[in-house]
Structure 1
Amino acid sequence: LLINHTWDFVVMQAREQLRASKQRKKADRIVLECQEQAYWLINKPCPGEFDPLMDVSTGRLVLTMCVCVCVCVRACMRVCSFMKYSEQYLHHDPIMSGCLPSNPWISDDTSHWTINTDMVDTPTRLRVERWSFSFMELLNDLMGRREFMIYLEKEFSAENLCFWVACEDLRHGESSKIILKVEEVYKNFLAPGAARWVNIDSRTMERTLEGIKRPHRFIMDDAQMHIYFLMKKDSYPRYLKSELYKNMLAQAVIPQETKKSVFPFMRRQRHSSPSPAMVTQATEDDGKAKGAGPGASSASNSQI
């Protein structure tokens, strides 16, 4: 009965409001509609706000599931990236796969260091393969950088790599020569009519020229990054497909593993370096003996 009475009151109130709205003039109805629209434009709920019609426990459950899914996706992406990196560098890791021709710390054979110096006539195959892993891997290797420079000279775009090298020298060079190096970089690469003018967008050029008025070692970072990505996206993929890189990869040497002698007496004797503490102590003793001179030795002989 209570529910029926309440429902009758709701129906009666709705009829009264409908009758009143019909009796209003058209202008009044338009004003009321505009007021209602303006109210909801100002007081509408923000995106993502809690819905009071949704159960609290259900909302928390949905939020928790979303957070867990995001965490799992990020973790999976990181694990996949780590696994890809590990598989890529597996054969280039001397701890996991060993090093050829032999481990110089064990065999006293320095051939491994000799064939992997900064500049050699013929690099190893593993070294050349590592250039294809990433563009920075190529630039960090002095020989790889030299071969890439030869390719860019044939493509008439060697100024890009020269500019990148000059910016690296500015960033890691002496503080006393920063102003001089900034002037050289501007004169050789950025000035109008420069011999090795580099193609940089107008916005980056404006920021760089504005910063040259107050030179510091990081003033060329924006321009250097622009040229770096230009080479990475354009020149680097074409270099990996070029005949120059393919010939270098085909001519690269694969060091043969040094065979161990079967007979113990034919093996080379290992020379283990002394402990740093022992070397320091021996040096101090020698210094004290030299400082004491012949007088100390004669005094000790007299005591004996």
Structure 2
Amino acid sequence: MCASSGVGSTRIVGFLLRLGQLLSTCVPFSLLASMGIWREGIGNWCMLVWCLCFTMTLITFILEFCGLQSRFPCSWDGFLHAYSIYFIFLCILTAVIFGTTYIQVFPPGTARNHAITATTFSCVAAVLYVIDVAWICVRPGDMVCYVPTLLGVIRRLENYVACVIFAIISNTYLYQQQPALEWCVFVYAICFILGSVNYFVNGADIDNDKKPVRFPRFLVGQTVLSVFLYASTVVLWPLYQFDEKLGGQPQRSRDVRCSDKLTSLVCIWDQRLAVTVLTAINLLVYVADTVHLAREAFVRTEAQSRGSSFFFSPAVSSPSSDVP
């Protein structure tokens, strides 16, 4: 009876968390749609984030309600842990960007109240996802807290940085009508998509030191490809953003858009610099990922060679051979 009671309370708390997350992500994009600003760059990005969080949470709720999480190909706790942290990060980032962009622009009235409400519910959603991560550790029946491995942390960090880059480049003015900069945006998108797919198919294995990765070639190929793609971006993005010969602006003081009082804190030039720094950081993270994979492969090869040499070693002879 105690065990069934613990399972029942776990399901109830999980359902309540999912319902709260669905409500707190549904309200912001509903208000944003009613305001009619979701077609703009930043509004479009915020709408995408809230819709993504709502859709993934709804799918999670349906799977848990139907009891299908046991058939999930990866660790269900690992899946919840990873994507809940993603949504914490995205909801906080979206609340900050949306709030600072629209609350100060709208005059007092319905539009500003809607912007404040959407920002508030985005923060509430982030808090609920934090509780979800904590609940994975303390819910009845779990002996230890789910802790990702070093490779799992690196994998998450790659996509966290990419999410911040997406938030900044939601301002399409940064790369419009520049093929080289559009290539950079393509790199950010394709590396993020491949990283997300890679975690989906290998997530539980990446966070389990005792279990081999099911698709190691895809893991290594995606990582090495991302290193080369980001290496091109770390050259092209600052070159076309700050070189006057290529249409860039090398100094912030010479950027006319930074003279506006509303954008004096974070203007176009600041956004260009932020993406440049984040691109370099993510390249270093991908390099660290590659080095970590190479090191693990080397250690595994050494262990296999030692095991085989010990097994087939001629020095290990039968005791009866010493008997005359």
Same fold (TM over 0.5): no
Normalising by structure 2, report the TM-score.
0.23
Which structure has the highest helix share of the two? 2
Determine which structure has more spread, i.e. the larger CA radius of gyration. 1
Normalising by structure 1, report the TM-score.
0.24
